[in-house]
Amino acid sequence: MSPQLPLTKRPQETSKLVPAAPDELWRAIFRFATITTKSSPLYDVDFSPFRESWLDRHSFDDSLKVKKSIVLVCRHWKALGVEFLYEHMEVHTLSKLLRKGEENDRSVGRFVRRLVLPYRPFEYEGGGSSRFTEILKWCPKVEILVQPAWLGGSEDNTGFWRDDPRVDFTLALTSLLTNVKRIDWCTVGNETFHDIHCHRLAGVLRATTNLRYLSLRYKVDPFPGPSSITLPSLLTLRLHGEIGIYGLNMPNLAHIIVNNIGVASDYCAFKRVGPSLRVIQLAGYGDGYQFDVLRLAPSLRELCCSVRRETLVMLGCLHESIHTVRLYCVANPDAPAIAGFRKKSVVLYHKTALPSLERVILHGDWSSFSKHPEFRLFRMRVLDRGCILEYASGRLVD
């Protein structure tokens, strides 16, 4: 009988993932992994051309699947990744967690950066304070508030807002909205309670002293004037639809995104904000009104527009201070878009129209259009006048 060999001791196995990098590096990796072309604009608090998100409930975070996967790897990754998982929350979902009363569920509010307000009736039976103020107390780091298009028909959300004329709405919100830097607000679908909704929006704006970015979408102007709300920190304004800006005082406004220039420029609404503007992004209908916009913005430095049939025609305009024009193109522009491009591009060829023009920057997908004869003519003439022609990435156009 052969002697038994001594058993070799196996090294102790461990199921715990030991991180080989500092926590801050893991957070940077998680941030990089959860940024997509669709989700990134949702968290912008400053202007970036052609990156605005939709003003409806479909502005969802498409990186949510990756975020959920991160927190399921191990306890350590969960502890680090939970802040990314809950940075985008809807009030309906957050309220359910708060009602559970468990410490772990209620603590997620401190991670919320982008809060989507109710877009359908929200039932709440509570104390004297509104559900809105209560939610904000649990989310002290909110930077972005979103009011999507209303899907509740003729019903209003009094249960959530609890409009009490005896309570100073603005005063109650001021200490809760200190960190808010962006507001996206839409009342399409809730026209029945237009006046009440405008009152709520006005209260929120007055309380948001550090607001930098404001998106508004209305069918009826919520602030017909005279000017009653001052937004001293506002740098970027986006207007969408039948809307004016007569009741807002924005002394430091530098960037404006206009989706319907015909309405926005009626009655010279740009007279008050035009002198401070540095960048205008044009989109939508309204050919002819662009002359007023450029004339009323003498310090304009950049003009942004899209290559599509709705984009404004710039023939005949003259502006001495514009030094950069940014053009956005979709993957496969149709014939009307190409025709519109032909009309718009003429203004870039002659120094008499934009004498200070230094560069033309192309955004979007130009892979298809760059092979079109119209684009080759455009490239030749822009370069002939001494301008730089480049893509948004910084690569020069071949």
- Average pLDDT of span 7-16: 48
Instruction: State pLDDT tens for residues 104-146.
Output: 566 788 899 999 888 777 665 544 445 788 888 888 899 999 9
Total number of domains constituting the chain: 1
Does 371 have pLDDT greater than 70?
Answer: yes
pLDDT value of residue 60:
63
- Average pLDDT of span 79-88: 89
Written as one letter, the residue type at 198 is C
* CA–CA gap between residue 112 and residue 1 (Å, rounded): 71
Domain-embedded: residue 67: yes
Residues in the chain: 398
Domain-embedded: residue 341: no
Instruction: State pLDDT tens for residues 156-187.
Output: 666 677 655 555 667 778 888 889 999 998 87
Instruction: State pLDDT tens for residues 28-38.
Output: 999 898 888 77
Does 17 have pLDDT greater than 70?
Answer: no
Domain-embedded: residue 389: no
Written as one letter, the residue type at 396 is L
Domain-embedded: residue 117: yes
Question: Of the candidates 289, 314, 292, which has an alpha carbon nearest to the alpha carbon of residue 303?
Answer: 314
Q: What is the pTM (predicted TM-score) of this model?
A: 0.83
Asked if 336 and 314 touch (Cβ cutoff 8 Å), the reply is: no
* CA–CA gap between residue 1 and residue 314 (Å, rounded): 100
Domain-embedded: residue 184: yes
Lowest mean pLDDT across 81-85, 147-151, 253-257? 147-151
Does 262 have pLDDT greater than 70?
Answer: no
CB count within 10 Å of CB 140 equals 13
Does 6 have pLDDT greater than 60?
Answer: no
Range of the domain at 118: 23-253
pLDDT band at 194 (very low <50, low <70, confident <90, very high): confident
Domain-embedded: residue 59: yes
Domain-embedded: residue 230: yes
Beta partners for residue 279, in sequence order? 255, 302
pLDDT value of residue 366:
86
- Average pLDDT of span 254-277: 68
Instruction: State pLDDT tens for residues 40-71.
Output: 888 889 998 888 766 555 556 678 888 888 88
pLDDT value of residue 261:
54
- Average pLDDT of span 297-314: 71
Continuous H helices in 296-331: none
Percent share of the chain, pLDDT over 90: 14
Mean pLDDT of the chain: 77
CB count within 10 Å of CB 150 equals 24
pLDDT value of residue 179:
92
pLDDT band at 368 (very low <50, low <70, confident <90, very high): confident
The segment with the largest mean pLDDT, out of 34-43, 64-73, 221-230, 329-338, is 64-73
pLDDT band at 349 (very low <50, low <70, confident <90, very high): confident
Does 315 have pLDDT greater than 90?
Answer: no
Asked if 57 and 148 touch (Cβ cutoff 8 Å), the reply is: yes
Checking 95-102 for CB contacts under 8 A at 24+ apart, the result is 95/122, 95/124, 95/131, 95/135, 98/135, 98/138
CB count within 10 Å of CB 196 equals 15
Asked if 277 and 45 touch (Cβ cutoff 8 Å), the reply is: no
Written as one letter, the residue type at 124 is Y
- Average pLDDT of span 15-28: 74
pLDDT value of residue 264:
45
Does 14 have pLDDT greater than 50?
Answer: no
Domain-embedded: residue 116: yes
* CA–CA gap between residue 223 and residue 21 (Å, rounded): 52
Per DSSP, the three-state class of 184 is: strand
* CA–CA gap between residue 240 and residue 258 (Å, rounded): 6
